[in-house]
Structure 1
Amino acid sequence: MKREENKTGDLQGQLYVFPGRILFVGLGLHTDFHAHHASSLLLSLEESQTFGLMLEEDGPEHRHSGVILGPGLRHRLMGDSTTMLVLQVVPEMYRFPMEALHVMDQRELDSLRSVISGLEGEGCEEASHRFFQMIALFEANTDSNPEAEVDPRISASLQHIHDSLPEILSVAELAIGAGLSEHRFMHLFKKQVGIPVRRYALWARMQKAAFMLKDGRTLTEAAHEAGFSDSAHMSRSFKELFGISPSAVFGERASVMAHFCNQVWNQERRS
C-alpha cells in the first residue's frame, strides 16, 4: 500500500513542549507511520468524534475515541477533522501501567475530558498542572524520585546546556563542570530531571530551533544555530520526537501556538 503524504498543513491548536513530554490540544493532526521513544495518550475531545489509527501499513484503519500507545509502537494517526488531545511522555519519566495498546473505557474518556477542559489560551504552568492531573488518573509507575529541590549542580548544568548552543557539550564536560564523575552525574541528572542528559540536550536543541523558526528564520538557519548539522538532521530529529515535520507546526498554513516550557519534572512535583 502506497504511503500518503503527511496532511498536517492545516494543523491548529496549542502545543506545550516540556523536557521529556509534550501536550497538544487541537485539530488537523495527521501523521505518517512512525514510532517514537515516548508513550502516547490520544483522546478525542468531542464525544461525537473519533480518530483513525493504523498499526500496519497494509492493515485496517480502526476508529477510536481514546487510546494509550506504549513506547516504540509503530502507528499512523488520522485526526484531520477531530479535535484531539495528544500527550506524550518518555518512559524514563513515566510508564502507563497497561499493555502496549490500551483502548480507553468510558470512565477514562470522561475523566480526561473533564481535566483538559478549558486549557485553551493557558500558559505553561497551567498546562503542567493539567498534565499531572491526567497521569494521576492512572496508577503511577515512574522511575523518577523527585526531591524537595533540584540539586544546584544539576540546575547549573541545565542552564549550561542551553547557554552553550550551538556548541554541544559532552557528558564528560558537564560532569566536570558539576564536580562529579560521569556515572554519578548521569545518575543524578536522570533522577532529578526525569530523563537522561543526552535526551534533555536534544530537547534543548529542538527548543532553540523552534524559537528560531518562530522568529522567521529558515530551516537551515534554525538548524545551525541549534547545533544540528543541517536542516535535514533537524527535521528528522523533530519528527522522531513529535511524529510530524517542523513545517506542520511552523509552516505558512499551520496555526499552532507553541509553548516551549523549561520546567522539569522534579521542580513541578515538589511537595
Structure 2
Amino acid sequence: MSVTGWAGRARLRPGGVVYGGAVGSATAHAHHSVQVIVALGGDELLMAGPAGEPFRCRAYVVPSGVRHSVLGGVPRGVVLHYDPLSTAGRRLAALAGDAGDLVPDALPADPFEAACALDSVLPQGPLPGAAPHPGLVRVLDWLPGREHVRLSQAAAVACLSESRLAHLFRAELGLPFRPYVLWLRLMRAAELASQGHSLTDAAHGAGFADGAHLSRVWRRMFGIPPSDFTRTIQWM
C-alpha cells in the first residue's frame, strides 16, 4: 500500500535524525546528510534517482548531495540521517545504493523502536578512506552557531587559502561552503521547531529572513514542507 503522508516519532541527534513511522512521498531533493531509508513489514518503497528513473527497494542508502525522491511511501518505515564525515556516514556512503542486506531481519515492530535499533547497528564496521583534512575539521567544529559567516573567515580558522578550503568542502563533503552553512542553519531551525517554536520563530532563530525563506530551503533539501515536520511528527 502506497502512502503519501508522514506521521511518526523522531529524535534529533548530533549530525542527523532518527525517524520511525509512516514514510510519505517527497519531491526531488538533495541534502548534505547521508540517508538510510527502509520499508518495514515486507513492503517496498517506490523511489526515483537523480535522473528521475523510478525503482523499488526495501532499503536504500542515499549519499550526500545526490538528488532523489520518494514517489510512493509505506505505512511503516525508518529514515536515518548521518553527517557524511561521521563514522556511520562515511561507512554508509561507501555502500550507497540498495541496502537490503544491511537491514537485520529481526527489528522491533514499532517503527521508532526499529529506527533506534537500526541506528545502533549501522555505524559498526571499519572506517573507509582517509581521515578528513585537519583544517576542514577545525572549520566544521567552529561553524555551528554562526549563521552568517564568510569563506574568508573560515579559511582563517583553517589556516588555509580560500580556494584550498573551498576545494576541501567539495572533495570531502560533496557540498560547496555556502550550501553547507545553509544546511547547518536548516538543522538549527529543525532543532528549534522540534522544541515547540513556531516555524517563523525557528526561521529567525536560525538566521533565515522569514518563514517563507525557511520553507523554500526546507523543500529543496527534504522534499516536504516544514509543516509536516511540526504537525504530524512527535519529537522525542
TM above 0.5: yes
- Please name the residue that 1:262 is paired with: none
Deviates more, 1:176-185 or 1:201-210: 176-185
Report if aligned partners of 1:31, 1:77 keep a CA contact under 8 Å in 2: yes
What is the aligned counterpart of 1:36 among 30, 33, 39? Answer: 30
For structure 2, the residue ranges without an aligned partner over 5 or more in a row are none
What is the aligned counterpart of 2:208 among 195, 204, 228? Answer: 228
Q: Secondary structure at the match of 1:33?
A: strand
Return the alpha-carbon distance in structure 1 between the equivalents of residues 164 and 233 of structure 2.
43
Residue 81 (1) aligns with residue 75 (2): yes
Normalized against structure 2, the TM-score is what? 0.68
For structure 1, the residue ranges without an aligned partner over 5 or more in a row are 258-271
Distance of aligned partners of 1:176 and 1:197 in 2 relative to their CA distance in 1, 3 Å threshold: same
RMSD value over aligned CA atoms?
Answer: 4.4
Deviates more, 1:37-46 or 1:186-195: 186-195
Report if aligned partners of 1:37, 1:241 keep a CA contact under 8 Å in 2: yes
- Please name the residue that 1:163 is paired with: 145
What is the aligned counterpart of 1:12 among 8, 13, 18? Answer: 8
Distance of aligned partners of 1:254 and 1:50 in 2 relative to their CA distance in 1, 3 Å threshold: same
Higher RCO structure, 1 or 2 (CA under 8 Å, sep 6+): 1
- Please name the residue that 1:112 is paired with: 103
Residue 183 (1) aligns with residue 183 (2): no
Task: Show the 5 A alignment for 1:1-271.
Answer: 7-8=5-6, 11-16=7-12, 19=15, 22-37=16-31, 40-46=35-41, 49-55=42-48, 64-68=57-61, 72-86=66-80, 95-96=93-94, 103=98, 108=101, 111-113=102-104, 120=113, 127=119, 130-133=121-124, 136=125, 145-146=130-131, 151=134, 154=136, 156-165=138-147, 168-187=148-167, 196-251=176-231, 253-257=232-236
Deviates more, 1:185-194 or 1:172-181: 185-194
Q: How many residues in Structure 1 have an aligned counterpart in Structure 2? A: 223
The sequence identity of aligned pairs, in percent, is 23
Q: Deviations over 1:4-24 (max 9, x none)?
A: x9622xx113345654xx454
Normalized against structure 1, the TM-score is what? 0.61
Q: Which amino acid aligns with 2:113?
A: E
